[in-house]
Amino acid sequence: MSRTLIVSNRLPTKGQRTAEGFTFQPSEGSLATGLGSVYQADGNVWVGWPGLSVEEPAEQAQVTEQLRQDSMAPVFLTEDEIRDFYEGFSNSTLWPTFHYFSQYATYEQAHWEAYVAVNEKFCRAVLELAGPEDTVWVHDYQLLLLPEMLRQQRPEATIGFFLHIPFPSYELVRVLPWGAQLLRGMLGADLIGFHTFGYMHHFLSAVSQLLGLPSHNGQVETRTRTVLADAFPMGIDYGRYAEAAASEAARQHARTYRQALGHTRIVLSIDRLDYSKGIAQRLRAFELLLQRYPEWRGRVSLLMLVVPSRDQVAQYAALKEEIDELVGRINAQYSNIAWNPIHYFYRSFPPGELAALYRLADVALVTPVRDGMNLVAKEFIASKTDQRGVLILSERAGAAQELADALLINPTDTGQLVEALHEALHMPVEEQQTRMAALQALVQQYDVFAWTRLFLDRLTYSKIKQQTLATD
C-alpha cells in the first residue's frame, strides 16, 4: 500500500530533556497545528526535527523509538546546524525576505552551505523511509531544495511541495544571491502549492524572470518535466475547535476568567513572537483607541498572548523588548485598581484554555503586516458556537482572500485600525451573527481535511497526466 510521507523542518511535537528521559509537547505554528490532525491516517509518517539537539547515538535511538510509536521519524540537527541552517539561512535570510523585511535579512555563505547540507540530510532520511510507490509531501521554506534533491535520486517519485509562508514579489527574490538555486529546488516537485493565487503568480513570475522558464495556466515546462503550481488555502480541523469551545472544560475556564475580568469587553490577540505579526502596531492602535474614545477606558481589555519563538535570532529578542516596554507604558498610564487595559502573557497556552479565551472574546484582533495564511483567524471563527464576536483581520494575511466577512484593515493604518475596533465593539449582535455565520460556513467547508484531499488528489492527477504524456 502506498503511504504519504510528510516532511517538514519541525515535527508537530517538540522534545525536552528531563531527569526521567525525553518528554514531548505539541509544537507551535500553523504548519504543526494545522497538519497535526491528518498525518496519522493510513500508515503515514511525518519526518522532521524534534526541536532539540540530541547528539549521543544512544539518546537518538531512544527518541527515534519514542517518536516511532506516534508515526514520526526524527531528523537530528547538530548545534551548528541549528545555528546556521535554522536560525541562520531559514530564519535570518528566507523568513525576512519572504515577509518583505529585506532590511533584516543577512546573506552568509556559511549559512547557505548549512542550508544545502541540511536539505541533503533530509533527503537521505526520506530515501531511507520512502518506498518507490510512496508520495512525498515536502513542506515550507526550510526545505526549498529538497524536492529537486529527491528528484535526482528518484526520477519517477511523486513529490508535492507546499509553501506555508508568502511567496514574495520577484523584486525581493532577485535580491537573494541564491534565488535561482532555490527556485530550481522547488521545481523538483510535481505540484507546488501556495495559500493564495497572489503568491502563486509571484512564484511563476520569479521562475520566468530568473530561470527563463515561461508558464501557461500554472504549468511550468522545465527541460525534462511539467510542473504544476496552484493555490490551496489551508484550513483547520474545524470540528476539533468547535467541540473544544463547547466542552465543559472550556466553559469552566471561561467562567473563571470572566470572574477575574469583571464586565470588561475582551479583545483577543494570539501570535508567535514575530515581527511579521504586527504586534507593536496593534498595541499602538489599542493605545490610540483609549485616547480617542475615552468611553472605552475601564470597559475593554486587550488579552494578548505572545508565544515565545526563535529567541536566539536578534530581531526577535529586540521585538520582545519593544513589546514589554509598550505594554508597560500603556498599562502604567491607563490602568486603575479595578481594571487593566492589557493582560499580556508571554508563553504558550494549553488547548483547553485557548478554547475558553476564544469563547470569551468579543473581538479577535489579527493584524499581521505579512502572513502566509494565519490560522488563528480561522480558529476564532470555529470556536464561536453562539456566532457572536467580530474578527478584525489584516488584508495582508492570506486568510483575508477568503474571509471577506471579517472587518478587513490595513495593519499599518493605525487610524483605520482604531475605527475598526470601535466599530467592532459597537456592532449589533445581529450583524455579528450574520457575518459569523458566513465565515463559519466557509471555514467549516474548507477544513484541513478538505485541503489535504484537494492537494493530494491534484498531485495524483498531475502525475497521471505526466505519465500519459510521456507514453503518448
Residue identified by cell 552551505 is: 113
The verdict on 37 binding ligand G6P (CB under 6 A) reads: no
Please choose, out of 28-36, 57-65, 399-407, 457-465, the segment that lies near ligand G6P by the rule CB under 6 A: 28-36
Nearest to 371 by CA among 347, 392, 343, 394: 394
CB of 160 to ligand G6P, least distance (A): 16
Nearer to ligand G6P, 223 or 347 (CB): 347
Choose, by CB under 6 A, the member of 84, 134, 140, 402 that binds ligand G6P.
140
The minimum distance between CB 285 and ligand G6P, in angstroms, equals 24
Q: What share of the chain is helix, strand, coil (3-state, %, to 5)?
A: 50, 20, 30
> Is 10 a binder of ligand G6P (CB under 6 A)?
yes
Give yes or no for residue 157 binding ligand G6P (CB under 6 A): no
Among residue numbers 298 through 317, which ones bind ligand G6P (CB under 6 A)? 309-310
Q: How far is the CB of 86 from ligand G6P (least distance, A)?
A: 7
Cβ proximity to ligand G6P, 166 vs 188, nearer residue = 166
Given the rule CB under 6 A, which of 22-30, 242-250, 259-267, 298-306 is the region that contacts ligand G6P?
A: 22-30
In angstroms, rounded to a whole number, what is the distance separating the alpha carbons of residues 160 and 187?
10
Among 24, 28, 227, 342, binds ligand G6P (CB under 6 A): 28
The C-alpha atoms of residue 425 and residue 285 are separated, in whole angstroms, by 14
Q: Select from 72, 150, 83 the least CA-distant residue to 111.
A: 83
Among 165, 183, 420, 459, binds ligand G6P (CB under 6 A): 165
- In order of 19, 106, 233, 397, the CA distances from 457 in angstroms are 45, 38, 15, 26
Angle at 45 between CA 40 and CA 51, to 5 degrees: 100
- How many residues can be counted in the chain? 472
Give 172 or 360: the residue with its C-beta nearer to ligand G6P.
172
Q: How far apart, in whole angstroms, are the C-alpha atoms of residue 27 and residue 11?
A: 7
Per rule CB under 6 A, is residue 99 in the interface with ligand G6P?
no
* Least separation in angstroms between CB 25 and ligand G6P: 13
- The reply on whether position 195 binds ligand G6P by CB under 6 A is no
User: Nearest distance from residue 95's CB to ligand G6P, in Å?
Assistant: 8
Cα(317)–Cα(275) distance, rounded to whole angstroms? 10
Q: Which helix (H) or strand (E) holds 382?
A: helix 375-383
Which stretch, 29-37, 256-264, 411-419, 452-460, contacts ligand G6P (CB under 6 A)? Answer: 29-37
If one asks whether residue 348 binds ligand G6P (CB under 6 A), the answer comes out as: no
Give the one residue of 30, 119, 374, 432 binding ligand G6P; rule: CB under 6 A. Answer: 30
> Residue 159 belongs to what H/E stretch?
strand 158-162
28 versus 353: smaller Cβ distance to ligand G6P: 28
Please give the biggest Cα pair distance in the chain. Answer: 78
Q: Which is nearer to ligand G6P, 30 or 440 (by Cβ)?
A: 30
The three grid cell numbers given for residue 27, joined into one nine-digit string: 509544537
| Nearest CA-CA partner of 67 in 78, 75, 56 | 75
E-state strands within 169-280: 191-194, 215-216, 219-221, 226-231, 265-272
271 binds ligand G6P (CB under 6 A): no
Q: Report the amino acid identity of residue 133.
A: E
Tell which positions 67-86 bind ligand G6P, by CB under 6 A. Answer: none
Which residue, 9 or 215, is less far from ligand G6P as judged by CB?
A: 9
Q: Does 164 bind ligand G6P (CB under 6 A)?
A: yes
Q: Which is nearer to ligand G6P, 8 or 432 (CB)?
A: 8
Amino acid at site 411: P
CB of residue 372 to ligand G6P, shortest distance in Å: 6
Residues 428-447 touching ligand G6P, rule: CB under 6 A, are none
The residue within the footprint of ligand G6P, chosen from 31, 82, 157, 172 (CB under 6 A), is: 31
**Among candidate residues 399, 133, 390, the one with its CA nearest the CA of residue 268:** 390
29 is an interface residue for ligand G6P by CB under 6 A = yes
Minimum Å gap between C-beta 10 and ligand G6P is: 4
279 in contact with ligand G6P (CB under 6 A) = no
**Exposure string over 241-260, b if 16+ CB within 10 A, otherwise e:** bbebbeeeebeebbeebeee
Q: Can you list the alpha helix ranges (DSSP code H) found in 130-160?
A: 146-153
Output 368 or 389, the one with its CB closest to ligand G6P.
368
Number of residues engaging ligand G6P in binding (CB under 6 A): 10
Query: What residues does 161 pair with on adjacent strands?
Result: 138, 192
Report H helices in 48-169: 57-68, 79-81, 95-98, 109-129, 146-153
Q: How far apart are CA 286 and CA 94, in angstroms?
A: 31
Q: Could you tell me which stretch among 24-32, 98-106, 189-197, 198-206 binds ligand G6P (CB under 6 A)?
A: 24-32
User: Does 97 participate in binding ligand G6P (rule CB under 6 A)?
Assistant: no
| Interaction site with ligand G6P (CB under 6 A) | 10, 28-31, 140, 164-165, 309-310
